[in-house]
């Protein structure tokens, strides 16, 4: 493109070569090579006449200008991101920590807070179950999942998480306490106050996908009360995040869905708190002493971070924020007697 532009401005191959500090032979050869490669003439080669671009060459230059005008902002942003990424790679004081986690607004804030301290969280949201599986498969260093503060030992929540977590291998880190509840239309026009209200025939439910902790809470309630999922109108309607559930309700495509207060507030919805749950970060014991995990724990334990988290609707920093906890000490799933037969 530089060769074509130079020929257009200079009016000859020789003058174009001089303006580019190249030899006439090089410029002439390159133009001929590109004509052969593109299968189209680029220059009107007429003796005694000024060098002129062909219509095809003019179109090429126009296409380049259009592409630059349209893509310049994206290219600039990509260049900045690449520079940032490589600067992290060459900075011995920075760390990258891959995290798979259940969707959580607190983790989004944490990513921003950590980046300011040279800890870059490579955060990927998925269901709680999938996050722990990713940890066990070696696809991440930390997983984020949530459950009621004291899930019943034989509950669906306990039966789902227990096979995925091994005492002695995994360690928990305190992160946050948050409210799960009903996201409803502003003013709660249908007066939805409990999970039992979801059974009303006129109520349209929007659900989370399988493998998410929020779906697990709903399914556990259905199981405990011997209620068939088919009794909930819209149970099969699934969305991928708290934000998308809230957007579905805000658009009028559903009346209610389980979710977190911050997602409801972001869409201007009403929120009916139902249960306080713990959101934990889990890693392999062997990773605890790595620089990235040490940096993460340091960020979690700072008062400015905990104050920021406390300002998020429905959130409270865990009393053990950043502290390492054992599975046996924190969860009741390994300390119960088998039911009598």
Task: Identify the structural domains of the chain with CATH numbers, from first to last.
Answer: 2-88 (1.10.10.10), 94-334 (3.40.190.290)
Dist CA 129 CA 103 (whole Å) = 12
Beta carbons within 8 Å of 137's beta carbon, 6+ residues apart: none
Percentage of the chain with pLDDT > 70? 95
Check pLDDT > 80 for residue 68: no
Dist CA 277 CA 38 (whole Å) = 63
Check pLDDT > 50 for residue 341: no
What DSSP state is assigned to residue 120? E
Are 174 and 312 in contact by the 8 Å Cβ rule? The answer is: no
Specify the pLDDT at position 336. 44
Specify the pLDDT at position 173. 95
Check pLDDT > 70 for residue 288: yes
Percentage of the chain with pLDDT > 90? 62
Dist CA 125 CA 325 (whole Å) = 23
Specify the pLDDT at position 101. 94
What's the burial of 3, exposed, middle or buried (CB within 10 Å: 0-12/13-18/19+)? buried
**Spacing of C-alpha 146 from chain mean position:** 17
Are 140 and 99 in contact by the 8 Å Cβ rule? The answer is: yes
Check pLDDT > 90 for residue 9: no
What's the burial of 206, exposed, middle or buried (CB within 10 Å: 0-12/13-18/19+)? buried
What DSSP state is assigned to residue 204? P
Specify the pLDDT at position 117. 85
Mean pLDDT, residues 101-116 taken together: 90
The angle at the Cα of 222, spanning 218 to 228, to the nearest 5 degrees, equals: 125
Letter string b/e over residues 275-311, b meaning 16 or more CB atoms within 10 A of that residue's CB: eebbbbbbbbeeeeeeebbebbbebbeeeebbebbee
Are 37 and 30 in contact by the 8 Å Cβ rule? The answer is: no
Dist CA 169 CA 76 (whole Å) = 44
Dist CA 157 CA 292 (whole Å) = 30
Q: What is the overall mean pLDDT for the chain? A: 89
340 compared with 236, residue with greater pLDDT:
236
151 compared with 326, residue with greater pLDDT:
326
Dist CA 225 CA 230 (whole Å) = 14
Instruction: Tell the residue number behind the tokens 């009903």, with chain if given.
Output: 182
C-alpha distances in angstroms, 81 versus 21, 75, 77, 286, 288?
A: 33, 10, 6, 31, 29
Dist CA 159 CA 336 (whole Å) = 13
Tokens at 63, concatenated? 């296409």
Dihedral over alpha carbons 66, 69, 71, 76 (to 10 degrees) = 150
Dist CA 208 CA 245 (whole Å) = 8
Compute how many other C-beta atoms are within 10 angstroms of the C-beta atom of residue 79. Answer: 10
Are 237 and 161 in contact by the 8 Å Cβ rule? The answer is: no
Mean pLDDT, residues 277-306 taken together: 95
Specify the pLDDT at position 340. 43
Question: Taking Cα atoms as reference points, which of 294, 291, 333, 299 lies closest to residue 317?
Answer: 299
Question: Taking Cα atoms as reference points, which of 304, 340, 341 lies closest to residue 322?
Answer: 304
pLDDT in tens, 311-338: 999 999 999 999 998 888 888 766 544 4
Specify the pLDDT at position 283. 96
Tokens at 282, concatenated? 């889990």
Dist CA 92 CA 96 (whole Å) = 11
**Spacing of C-alpha 224 from chain mean position:** 32
Which range among 5-9, 21-25, 83-87, 129-133 shows the weakest confidence by mean pLDDT?
Answer: 83-87
Tokens at 141, concatenated? 């260093």
């Amino acid at each position: 493109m530089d060769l074509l532009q130079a020929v257009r401005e200079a009016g000859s191959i020789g003058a174009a070569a001089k303006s580019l500090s190249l030899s006439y032979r090089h410029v002439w050869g390159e133009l001929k090579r590109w004509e052969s490669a593109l299968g189209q003439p680029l220059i009107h080669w007429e003796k005694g006449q000024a060098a002129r671009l062909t219509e095809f060459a003019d179109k090429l230059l126009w296409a380049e200008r259009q592409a630059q005008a349209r893509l310049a902002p994206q290219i600039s942003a990509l260049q900045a991101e690449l520079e940032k990424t490589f600067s992290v790679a060459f900075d011995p004081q920075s760390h990258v920590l891959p995290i798979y986690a259940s969707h959580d607004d607190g983790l989004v804030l944490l990513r921003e807070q950590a980046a300011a301290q040279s800890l870059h969280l490579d955060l990927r949201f998925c269901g709680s179950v999938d996050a722990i599986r990713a940890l066990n498969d070696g696809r991440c260093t930390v997983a984020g999942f949530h459950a009621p503060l004291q899930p019943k030992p034989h509950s669906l929540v306990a039966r789902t998480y227990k096979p995925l977590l091994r005492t002695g291998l995994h360690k928990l880190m305190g992160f946050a306490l948050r409210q799960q509840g009903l996201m409803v239309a502003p003013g709660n026009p249908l007066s939805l106050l409990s999970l039992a209200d979801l059974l009303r025939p006129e109520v349209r439910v929007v659900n989370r996908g399988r493998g998410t902790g929020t779906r697990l809470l709903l399914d556990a309630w259905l199981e405990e009360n011997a209620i068939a999922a088919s009794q909930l109108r819209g149970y099969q309607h699934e969305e991928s995040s708290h934000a998308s559930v809230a957007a579905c309700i805000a658009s009028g495509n559903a009346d209610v869905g389980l979710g977190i207060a911050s997602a409801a507030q972001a869409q201007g919805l009403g929120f009916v708190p139902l249960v306080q749950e713990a959101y934990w970060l889990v890693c392999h014991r062997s990773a605890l002493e790595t620089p990235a995990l040490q940096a993460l724990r340091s960020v979690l334990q700072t008062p400015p971070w905990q104050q920021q988290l406390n300002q998020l609707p429905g959130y409270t920093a865990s009393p053990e924020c950043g502290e390492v906890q054992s599975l046996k000490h924190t969860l009741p799933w390994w300390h119960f007697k088998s039911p009598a037969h």
